[in-house]
Structure 1
């Protein structure tokens, strides 16, 4: 009995938990990863992927829109991201496996939706890792200039592809070096990567705390006069800009299969990371606005509101700014590390489901990590970072993130109806309003994206779906199971 196309597209991966008596030894068929990451290290994953370069320079974009009420904008953006984090927390506690949104969609919404979401998150992680690496190149050169006076030459600091009036070169070598270093670290194991990330996150949080402390020494209350002058429109516009500073929170769920006690650790880490990120962002905004006149927060001014510039103005010397520049370099390193990690785990989950060739599911017996995946991702991201300007990359990051957020929220609703008996150590408060609001918020932001962003996404999605229809659906693990079941039925009928 043949399986119809509609049955293939809507088949769902069964949820098999370790507590099930029929499958006490594993959560799913295929290779396993080692559980080495604790709750604190997992929280640092979320903070590491979220607190990136945005907070070091986002004030110059957001303050002109909202004025001193940008503090409210940070809180609103955090609440919007928090809605998504609550949905992620429930899904992660119910389905603690690798693959994040892809795996959740496969369990809740079916194979076709899972492949579409895989395209979204692979685009999000791959492009953002490349763009962040390109940004790291500029900050590293700035730091080298301030410290030893010897940055990389332009020929080795810029891609050969022109963008506007930007300088061109042969290869963005620092960006490639960053990706290679992160790749080598990931190949050594998830535990070592988590420890390195934790150290880098603590350093950059310390640098931001230093900014807050120094900023408060120059704090002037009158800079918060006319707090609501920009109105609801300005606050909302700034919140939209700031929202993308929170998109790294979904990286926590990609580690689901390498976490100790994941059903408790994943929700706790997501919530803890969200609280830390919102607190740090609001304190930095409060100190920055209190320390510098509002008219100087403008991307059109020669003096931008980069945190390093604010510190230099307060202290009268470049030392504090240099320390902050070093913090930015470390910050971007940890973002790149976690972003690459997330992409390798999604590819691993797809390989184990045989939506990709089996090679993507291979695990090193020594490090218990998907080494082939890591090398593959490292090579692709390094090539993009080395040869493509970041201006071409950033706009395509947001669409994948927002689609993923929406699908996770939808998955919460679907699984509540189709699998009400599923053990959920964490449940979304305010259900069903919370996931519905998440979808509405994400849809609103998606509606405002540029047409070129949708075009790029459409082309990438067409490539991924073509691969699925010609290869993936015929080789998937569920497809093999259905074929075997159909053969049994056919023999019984005879």
Structure 2
């Protein structure tokens, strides 16, 4: 039975039990950690795409996405503290719902991280081009700085060369083992928060109330499959919150986790939600954020050919918020703070590559764990003798990320990444609820409060945002999933270590499990 291939939880936990983690983190430290993980590409890059979908209702969109993230985070906290080992939602699902569903989650995570890295690369490219234009007066040629027009990119775009460059550069750094130090990461977090704080201080006093009217030009619900309206924008800018799950993984090293983990999670999410709403208010209240409407009174889709053509009719000095590739820096330049706008652009330019690094690192490690479990060829998990990194899968991932970044605009990439993220979050919530039933006496460092409400709310919220993504983004997940299932049944099902009667407990250990697995003979077990 496929659904009977459940990886023994005791075997998974054996890895965690072999090491003792010192509990040193408090609630405030967790909040700072969460804020540093969350604030990144979404707010710097997706403000324009979100405004095109919802107009001033972007502020409501941030609140909707933040609320759904809060309930998802609480589910993540319990299971991450309970199963603090590599593999994220893939491992959690493997321990509860079996190999097939674990494969689908892992395959969705591969999509999430890789496409998200592409989206950040495209966002970095926009800020680079903006800085070059500001300092030299001449930007990069359109055909070298935008996605092809047929895919909804910049007018006349052929390839987004800067996005390809940064994706491959970060891939190279990961392959040779370059990693961020805590001090460098702390500096980058400080740069991001300082830049956004300065933005709020400079823009809010100049905000004009008439810029917010109409507040919801596309309504709350733009219609299923359209990706429009406040809910459609929430489905897109959900990308701006991804990263909070890193807080939940620190539960094992937290003092009084039952109290401090929810404070850290919810505190960081609430802080970022308020922060994001204030940034959106400052941007829209100063230069306006009304979407560019089509002839039928409906906003042109973000990243579409039609929108690109409309944006091409504006001069640089009159370019609307929804047309900018570097929205926040553009706002500051428009209201007379060109110098600070350039500094904000430099802040994004400097900080965003670190986000690409983290996303690529996470994606390659998910691939690595799946390969180590036998579900993908073991050659993918090959470690370089000198660099000590999984260089094969890192190189493959980097090329795919660069290819997507070369061809697709940031809004479409974020929507595709969100589809995989929402599916993974939903499966985590289901796994938490199932574990409460099948493992009621298992030690839980942190227990999700009111799981009877939080669990179903997470599932419903994820489905709700998913069906409000643009139709093409919704279709990518099942198509990607179908490709994954073909690979699984052609290769993973037969080669799986669990299917062959082997469970990897620790890097240097292998545990034989019950040889009576149906359909597995002695030769396969060997």
Q: Report the Cα offset of residue 331 of structure 1.
A: 4.6
Q: Report the Cα offset of residue 51 of structure 1.
A: 4.6
Say which structure is richer in helix.
1
Distance 1:178 1:83 in 2: 34
Q: Report the Cα offset of residue 47 of structure 1.
A: 2.0
Distance 2:166 2:256 in 1: 30
1:275 equivalent in alignment to 2:267: yes
Distance 1:366 1:263 in 2: 35
- For 1:128-147, what aligned pairs fall within 5 Å after superposition? 128-147=116-135
- The answer to whether the Cα contact below 8 Å between 1:288 and 1:310 also exists between their aligned partners in 2 is no
Q: Which structure 2 segments of 5+ residues have no match? A: 223-227, 293-317, 503-512
Aligned to 1:4: none
Aligned to 2:281: 289
Aligned to 1:14: 8
Q: Deviations over 1:177-223 (max 9, x none)?
A: 21123223334558526654443232111100111121244356x66
1:465 equivalent in alignment to 2:485: yes
- More moved, 210-219 vs 183-192: 183-192
What SS does the aligned partner of 1:386 have? Answer: helix
Quick one: which of 190, 198, 204 aligns to 1:210?
198
Quick one: which of 151, 173, 176 aligns to 1:185?
173
Q: Report the Cα offset of residue 462 of structure 1.
A: 1.4
- For 1:427-466, what aligned pairs fall within 5 Å after superposition? 427-466=447-486
Aligned to 1:31: none
- For 1:62-461, what aligned pairs fall within 5 Å after superposition? 64=55, 66=57, 71=59, 73-149=61-137, 151-159=139-147, 162-163=150-151, 166-168=154-156, 171-187=159-175, 189=177, 192=180, 196-218=184-206, 233=220, 237-247=229-239, 251=243, 253=245, 261=252, 272=264, 275-286=267-278, 289=281, 293=285, 296-300=288-292, 302-304=319-321, 306-314=327-335, 316-363=336-383, 369-390=389-410, 393-461=413-481
- The answer to whether the Cα contact below 8 Å between 1:353 and 1:476 also exists between their aligned partners in 2 is yes
Distance 1:227 1:62 in 2: 13
- The answer to whether the Cα contact below 8 Å between 2:383 and 2:391 also exists between their aligned partners in 1 is yes
What SS does the aligned partner of 1:479 have? Answer: coil
Distance 1:364 1:265 in 2: 40
- More moved, 70-79 vs 284-293: 284-293
Distance 2:352 2:373 in 1: 32
Distance 1:180 1:207 in 2: 27
- More moved, 235-244 vs 456-465: 235-244
Distance 1:14 1:419 in 2: 12
- The answer to whether the Cα contact below 8 Å between 2:3 and 2:100 also exists between their aligned partners in 1 is yes
Distance 2:426 2:119 in 1: 24
- The answer to whether the Cα contact below 8 Å between 1:49 and 1:339 also exists between their aligned partners in 2 is no
What SS does the aligned partner of 1:425 have? Answer: coil
Quick one: which of 46, 60, 67 aligns to 2:37?
46
- The answer to whether the Cα contact below 8 Å between 2:89 and 2:105 also exists between their aligned partners in 1 is yes
Judged with a 3 Å threshold, the aligned counterparts in structure 2 of structure 1 residues 112 and 393 are, in CA distance, closer, same or farther, namely same
Q: Deviations over 1:260-282 (max 9, x none)?
A: 95577999688646634542442
Judged with a 3 Å threshold, the aligned counterparts in structure 2 of structure 1 residues 426 and 240 are, in CA distance, closer, same or farther, namely farther
Q: Report the Cα offset of residue 450 of structure 1.
A: 4.0
Distance 2:339 2:363 in 1: 37
Q: TM-score, normalised by structure 1?
A: 0.80
- The answer to whether the Cα contact below 8 Å between 2:54 and 2:232 also exists between their aligned partners in 1 is no
- More moved, 163-172 vs 355-364: 163-172
Aligned to 1:485: 515
Distance 1:480 1:279 in 2: 48
- The answer to whether the Cα contact below 8 Å between 1:363 and 1:371 also exists between their aligned partners in 2 is yes
Q: Report the Cα offset of residue 165 of structure 1.
A: 7.5
- More moved, 412-421 vs 446-455: 446-455
Q: Which structure 1 segments of 5+ residues have no match? A: 1-6, 28-33
Q: Report the Cα offset of residue 283 of structure 1.
A: 3.6
Q: Report the Cα offset of residue 173 of structure 1.
A: 2.0
Distance 1:131 1:229 in 2: 26
Q: Deviations over 1:60-88 (max 9, x none)?
A: 3476353xxx6555333211111111111
Q: Deviations over 1:136-176 (max 9, x none)?
A: 22221111111234543344324557335844455422112
- RMSD, aligned CA: 4.2
Judged with a 3 Å threshold, the aligned counterparts in structure 2 of structure 1 residues 198 and 317 are, in CA distance, closer, same or farther, namely closer
- The answer to whether the Cα contact below 8 Å between 2:149 and 2:155 also exists between their aligned partners in 1 is no
- The answer to whether the Cα contact below 8 Å between 2:238 and 2:418 also exists between their aligned partners in 1 is no
Quick one: which of 42, 51, 62 aligns to 1:60?
51
Judged with a 3 Å threshold, the aligned counterparts in structure 2 of structure 1 residues 383 and 71 are, in CA distance, closer, same or farther, namely closer
- More moved, 243-252 vs 418-427: 243-252
Q: TM-score, normalised by structure 2?
A: 0.75
- More moved, 7-16 vs 232-241: 232-241
Judged with a 3 Å threshold, the aligned counterparts in structure 2 of structure 1 residues 159 and 80 are, in CA distance, closer, same or farther, namely closer
Distance 1:364 1:212 in 2: 46
Q: Report the Cα offset of residue 251 of structure 1.
A: 4.3
